Structure 1
Amino acid sequence: MAGIYLHIPFCRKACHYCNFHFSTLLKNKNAMVDAILKEISREAYKLKGQPVETIYFGGGTPSLLTEEELDHLMEMLFRSFDVSAGAEITFEVNPDDITRESLAAWKKSGINRLSIGVQSFRDEDLAWMNRAHNSGEALNGIQLARDAGFNNLTIDLIYGTPGLSDKAWEENVQKAISLGVPHLSCYALTVEPKTRLEKMIRTHQAADTDPEQQSRQFLLLMDWLRAAGYEHYEISNFARPGFRSRHNSAYWQGVPYLGFGPGAHSYNGKTRSWNLANNALFMQGIEKDIPVSEEEVLTTSNRINEYIMTSLRTAEGMDMRKISDEYGDEYAKAVGDRIGKYQSSGQLIQENGVIRLTNEGKLFADGIAADLFC
């Protein structure tokens, strides 16, 4: 099995915190779609014979695609790949793009899961982030999507923003619960280099993030969603039973995937590649039929470290037997020798050879994983 990711690199506005690859110059959108269509045609052989179980449209803002542009992409995907019946097909949308007409077009094209970029139900937060929508559009968009038959929904929420009180954060989370949203992706605000937010903080136009606030709000989040019946199946992801993201879960399980569009990544278990994160150079390369990506061959240590990083973030945890069986006892011993201190501190637990993070450990997931690297 395999997955496909399409990166649609356009947005109406630049959110202050975002460091994803995108452009606000929409005049080249149709030409970019043509380039991605050509890329799919020339790279499809890489998944020959493999059933495609998931397709994910990310960005950027895929909901900026016209009905015709989306139909062309979907037709090419189904013509070029063995897309399984019942494949999960996710489409990222902004609340201000959701209308009865757009929902009908998305459903008609074959989209069966929507990822709605809410970020917050509070207008003051959305204005601070420089989002293109308001809280009313977020609420209305979720309701319209449900009315249109999109029951498989996920929304993004951001916590740990300067000035966000615990009470305000709770109101955001409880609003999502009350709306019956079956999947939530919740992220601590991260100050990325070369973003508007980084410059605002550096020039004292905005307050910096507070690690204590972010840790506290993450712990509260876990408590609230557990009480509401959500499964915390990955560090940033929570789902009602049956509503895990199949696409992202495949990433974490090491399933191969093929990425299309500028900045998109691909992985086949042995190599990882990434496309040029430059719209003009990407389109020129596709037009001239020259490579638009770079590739690295993954070493044994690379593969083990990726497994450590991804597995520790999931509810299933890190299986020491898998490391031993696939990579050798010496690697399993090297990892095992460093686990004890985290068990003693209450950040890791071990059951039948499976290592999992405790709630306290989840606060330090990346650092713990890095310390266990081979």
Structure 2
Amino acid sequence: MAGLYVHIPFCASRCIYCGFYSTTLPALITDYLSATGREMQLRKHYLDEPVSTIYLGGGTPSQLSPRQTEQIFCDIDRTWGLAHAEEVTMECNPDDVTEEYAAQVATLPINRISLGIQTFSDERLRFLHRRHDTRQARRAVELLRKAGFNNISIDLMFGFPGETLNEWRDDIRQALQLDVEHISAYSLMYEEETALFRMLETGKIDELDDEISKNMYELLVGELEQNGYEHYEISNFAKPARRSRHNSSYWKGIPYIGIGAAAHSYDRTSRQWNIADIQQYIRGINDGSCVFEREELDLRTRYNDMITTALRTCEGISMPLVRNDFGENYARYLLKSAEKSIAQHLLTLEDDHLRLTREGVFVSNDVMSDLIALTTP
């Protein structure tokens, strides 16, 4: 089975932290959707397997009207079919979710909503330049439930400048009150070329202390696990049988195709990414070709990709899989490279699987760096 990602790069306004490619030019929507439909036809044979998960991300997919969103699904059905699509997710902003909108979207093949709440503090929402407030966030979940959605994920952020542990505890408490099926929680990141990064560089804000961020993460994990959520990936928590299948495919190395400007694709032997310019993307498609860059993946690159994806999950790295896919030399190299982190209780080796400990999760980038193969073993 394979995944399909469709990038919807339209936003009503830019949030100060966002490093994803997007535009605030809604006049381009019609031409863009025509182009994504054509790209699907041009790349119809990129995947050798049926599409089992679909993800509409952005940008802000809920900036499209239900009719425009329906057009995307018509194009998908015409190209690959929808019969095998077990999970179909769309990202939404809370302020876009009205009773009418939720009811109309519920008539589409979408069976999972990812709602960008970020925080339940109106002050922090204003700081991020989000367009919704706390009341709208709660109301959006209520309206989606009323429309029949029984698989809702919400995004949360922690580590805001000046944020306290008690403020973060209150965000977690309010998230739990919504009783959603899935929660993704991320530490606030300072991506280069974002307004947030410039604020940090010019001294307008200070980054939160690492020790406080660590305590926030530990509080998050403890509270969500205590309330029945499985911590199945570094930043992701799910109720039983409610893991994100689409995102899990990225961590398991399952092939996927990305449609739209700046969208990425992977077919096990190569990666490619479309040009991050909506107008050049549309022109290329209209000329009969997709403008993209491509990287062929050798064995060492695929091994390193496996390290930085599989280790994020609760299953960790399967040593039998490493031996089968990469050979004994890589398996020996991995075990040797892991010795220091195992001794420091950052990694465990149990049941022939390497896994991050809770302490290791917080320094996962350092642990992964130690396992990366800089040369062929």
- Which residue number corresponds to residue 211 of structure 1? 210
Identity %: 39
- Give the superposition deviation at 1:204: 1.9
- Which residue number corresponds to residue 23 of structure 1? 23
Whichever residue aligns with residue 366 of structure 1, its letter is N
Q: Mapping of 1:20-169 within 5 angstroms? A: 20-48=20-48, 50-85=49-84, 87-169=86-168
SS in 2 for 1:44: coil
Measured in 2, the distance between the counterparts of 1:210 and 1:193 equals 19
- Given that 2:114 and 2:154 are in contact with CA atoms closer than 8 Å, whether structure 1 keeps it comes out as yes
- Which residue number corresponds to residue 199 of structure 2? 200
Measured in 2, the distance between the counterparts of 1:157 and 1:79 equals 36
Measured in 2, the distance between the counterparts of 1:84 and 1:71 equals 16
SS in 2 for 1:314: coil
Measured in 2, the distance between the counterparts of 1:4 and 1:316 equals 24
- Given that 1:91 and 1:114 are in contact with CA atoms closer than 8 Å, whether structure 2 keeps it comes out as yes
Whichever residue aligns with residue 40 of structure 1, its letter is M
Residue-by-residue CA offset, 1:264-286 (whole Å, 9 max, x unaligned): 00001001000001111111111
- Give the superposition deviation at 1:209: 3.4
Q: Check 1:291–1:86 CA distance in 2 against 1; reply closer, same or farther (3 A cut).
A: closer
- Given that 2:37 and 2:75 are in contact with CA atoms closer than 8 Å, whether structure 1 keeps it comes out as yes
- Given that 1:51 and 1:83 are in contact with CA atoms closer than 8 Å, whether structure 2 keeps it comes out as no
Residue-by-residue CA offset, 1:41-74 (whole Å, 9 max, x unaligned): 11112125x2211000000000011122111110
Deviates more, 1:239-248 or 1:22-31: 22-31
- Give the superposition deviation at 1:207: 2.2
SS in 2 for 1:5: strand
Whichever residue aligns with residue 352 of structure 1, its letter is D
- Give the superposition deviation at 1:85: 4.3
- Give the superposition deviation at 1:86: 5.4
- Given that 2:6 and 2:258 are in contact with CA atoms closer than 8 Å, whether structure 1 keeps it comes out as yes
SS in 2 for 1:47: coil
Measured in 1, the distance between the counterparts of 2:22 and 2:268 equals 27
TM-score by length of 1: 0.98
SS in 2 for 1:102: helix
2:272 maps to 1:273: yes
- Give the superposition deviation at 1:291: 3.2
Specify every segment of 5 or more residues in structure 1 that has no aligned partner in the other structure, as ranges: none
Measured in 1, the distance between the counterparts of 2:53 and 2:253 equals 14
Q: Mapping of 1:238-277 within 5 angstroms? A: 238-277=237-276
Whichever residue aligns with residue 76 of structure 2, its letter is L
Measured in 2, the distance between the counterparts of 1:324 and 1:17 equals 40
- Given that 1:189 and 1:209 are in contact with CA atoms closer than 8 Å, whether structure 2 keeps it comes out as no
- Which residue number corresponds to residue 367 of structure 2? 368
Measured in 1, the distance between the counterparts of 2:81 and 2:30 equals 26
- Give the superposition deviation at 1:340: 1.3
Measured in 2, the distance between the counterparts of 1:76 and 1:138 equals 31
Measured in 1, the distance between the counterparts of 2:25 and 2:5 equals 22
- Which residue number corresponds to residue 292 of structure 2? 293
Measured in 2, the distance between the counterparts of 1:336 and 1:302 equals 18
- Which residue number corresponds to residue 351 of structure 2? 352
SS in 2 for 1:45: coil
Whichever residue aligns with residue 313 of structure 2, its letter is T
Residue-by-residue CA offset, 1:66-90 (whole Å, 9 max, x unaligned): 1221111101101110433452000
Deviates more, 1:201-210 or 1:174-183: 201-210
Measured in 1, the distance between the counterparts of 2:27 and 2:83 equals 34
Measured in 2, the distance between the counterparts of 1:105 and 1:295 equals 38
Measured in 1, the distance between the counterparts of 2:367 and 2:345 equals 12
- Give the superposition deviation at 1:290: 2.8
Measured in 2, the distance between the counterparts of 1:297 and 1:84 equals 31
- Given that 2:114 and 2:153 are in contact with CA atoms closer than 8 Å, whether structure 1 keeps it comes out as yes
Q: CA RMSD in A?
A: 1.1
- Give the superposition deviation at 1:184: 0.2
- Which residue number corresponds to residue 2 of structure 1? 2
Whichever residue aligns with residue 10 of structure 1, its letter is F
Whichever residue aligns with residue 8 of structure 1, its letter is I
TM-score by length of 2: 0.97
Measured in 1, the distance between the counterparts of 2:333 and 2:81 equals 41
- Given that 2:17 and 2:191 are in contact with CA atoms closer than 8 Å, whether structure 1 keeps it comes out as yes
SS in 2 for 1:338: helix
- Give the superposition deviation at 1:140: 0.4
SS in 1 for 2:314: coil
Measured in 2, the distance between the counterparts of 1:172 and 1:338 equals 38
